[in-house]
């Protein structure tokens, strides 16, 4: 990795080294923002510590020093998979050791969509259940947190989740969270769609001609589901394979709780199996893992939520393409692909039979 993406930093006492503001630290500017927190009981960073560059070494006089390094993780991509787009992530090392911490800052253009405090709180609660890396420090106002880094763990791919043993373990972790303490906010996929549609109407010059039809059809799902009753449980509420970590011994943890909240559990399972399988008949084994004996109504409800999620991400792609300054990210292409999948799935929905059993 080039020097532009890797730099040594020192945390030194104020007054012992020239203070370097966050905007002067090329790769750290989005992530540092003068974060002041206690990292952990055995790695305390007092309030009077500050960032300094390696070419301005800290004094060797009295007072503690914490030397470390920060390395930017791989850039985010949307196509062919959605990975690392919503945040800047840095690996943190201490005293030349392997990276042990990860600093995450939600991208500025995503903060209107994400409740940072709720996201970090949800991950902390999941970590208490051994379902996620522990969050060690939070600065919700700057949408930044420091968490444990799972060195040696693999980021899951869709091909991993097609292994039914792995998928069963992932569903088991999600169900464990469902039985845990409730999160701080409710989540409604349909509220998200309405908000994105409003922003799309304001910001997008050329939306798909059939968008009004897609929007109205998907909102019919909300009425159908509400008529049958809706429960809510604390949920990761994220279907992306890239937000699942697999340990060398096969253990599973979840990351990026940016969409987490209390929601219908069939939304959780629907968007997960929509990520993994293309054919509705392949949903059944996953539903069996989730509820024992899958019911036709469960299958249909999960399917409706999956279609709604495709519409939401399609709208998000259009909005981000129109409003984000990150022109190197293929927002439009990603949104276009999700619209294609939404249209295809809607064509297979028998609204009459679905309305009777969801």
- The per-residue pLDDT for range 216-231, each reduced to its tens digit, is 999 999 999 999 999 9
Query: What pLDDT is attached to residue 202?
Result: 97
Q: For residue 222, give Cα distances in angstroms to 213, 290, 346.
A: 15, 22, 14
Rounded-to-integer distance, Cα 355 and Cα 358, Å: 6
DSSP string, 230-296: ---EEE-----GGGEEE-TTS-EEE---TT-EEE-HHHHHHHHHHHH-SSGGGHHHHHHHHHSS--H
Are the CB atoms for 117 and 261 separated by under 8 Å?
A: no
Query: What pLDDT is attached to residue 74?
Result: 57
Neighbours of 94 (CB within 10 A): 16
pLDDT digits over 172-189, tens only? 999 999 999 999 999 999
Q: In CATH, which superfamily holds the domain spanning 154-356?
A: Aminoglycoside phosphotransferase (APH), C-terminal lobe (3.90.1200.10)
Q: What are 102's strand-pairing partners?
A: 91, 147
Q: Where are the domains of the chain?
A: 3-148, 154-356
Pull the structure tokens for residue 319. 């909005």
Kind plus residue range of the DSSP H or E element containing 219: helix 211-228
Instruction: Show the CA angle centred on residue 240, arms to residues 237 and 246, nearest 5°.
Output: 105
Which residues in the chain show pLDDT less than 70?
1-83, 94-96, 355-358
3-state secondary structure of 92: strand
Q: Name the residue among 354, 273, 274, 350 with its Cα closest to residue 311.
A: 274
Rounded-to-integer distance, Cα 55 and Cα 351, Å: 66
DSSP H helix total and E strand total for the chain: 10, 12
Residue reference for tokens 């522990």:
134
Rounded-to-integer distance, Cα 51 and Cα 65, Å: 11
Using CB atoms within 10 Å of the CB of residue 117, give its burial: 0 to 12 exposed, 13 to 18 middle, 19+ buried: middle
Rounded-to-integer distance, Cα 68 and Cα 65, Å: 10
């Amino acid at each position: 990795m080039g020097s532009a993406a890797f730099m040594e930093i020192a945390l030194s006492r104020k007054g012992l080294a020239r203070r370097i503001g966050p905007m002067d630290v090329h790769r750290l500017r989005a992530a540092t923002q003068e974060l002041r927190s206690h990292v952990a009981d055995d790695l305390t960073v007092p309030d009077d510590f500050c960032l300094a560059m390696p070419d301005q070494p800290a004094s060797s006089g009295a007072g503690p020093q914490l030397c470390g390094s920060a390395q930017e993780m791989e850039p985010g991509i949307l196509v062919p998979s959605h990975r690392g787009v919503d945040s800047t992530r840095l690996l943190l090392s201490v005293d030349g050791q392997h990276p042990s911490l990860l600093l995450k800052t939600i991208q500025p253009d995503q903060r209107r969509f994400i409740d940072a405090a709720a996201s970090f709180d949800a991950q902390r609660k999941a970590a208490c259940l051994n379902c996620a890396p522990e969050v060690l420090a939070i600065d919700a106002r700057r949408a930044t947190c420091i968490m444990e880094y799972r060195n040696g763990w693999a980021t899951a791919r869709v091909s991993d989740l097609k292994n039914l043993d792995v998928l069963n373990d992932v569903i088991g972790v999600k169900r464990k969270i469902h039985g845990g303490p409730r999160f701080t906010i409710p989540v409604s996929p349909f509220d998200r769609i309405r908000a994105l549609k409003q922003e799309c109407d304001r910001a997008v010059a050329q939306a798909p001609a059939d968008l009004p039809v897609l929007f109205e059809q998907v909102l019919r799902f909300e009425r159908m589901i509400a008529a049958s009753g809706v429960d809510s449980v604390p949920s990761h509420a994220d279907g992306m394979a890239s937000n699942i970590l697999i340990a060398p011994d096969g253990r599973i943890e979840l990351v990026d709780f940016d969409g987490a909240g209390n929601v219908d559990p069939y939304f959780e399972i629907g968007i997960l199996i929509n990520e993994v399988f293309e054919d509705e008949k392949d949903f059944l084994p996953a539903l069996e893992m989730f509820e024992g004996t899958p019911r036709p109504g469960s299958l249909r409800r999960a399917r409706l939520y999956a279609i709604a999620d495709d519409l939401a991400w399609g709208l998000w792609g259009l909005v981000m393409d129109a409003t984000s300054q990150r022109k190197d990210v293929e927002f439009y292409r990603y949104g276009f692909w999700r619209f294609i999948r939404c249209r295809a799935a809607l064509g297979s929905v028998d609204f009459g039979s679905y309305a009777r059993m969801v």
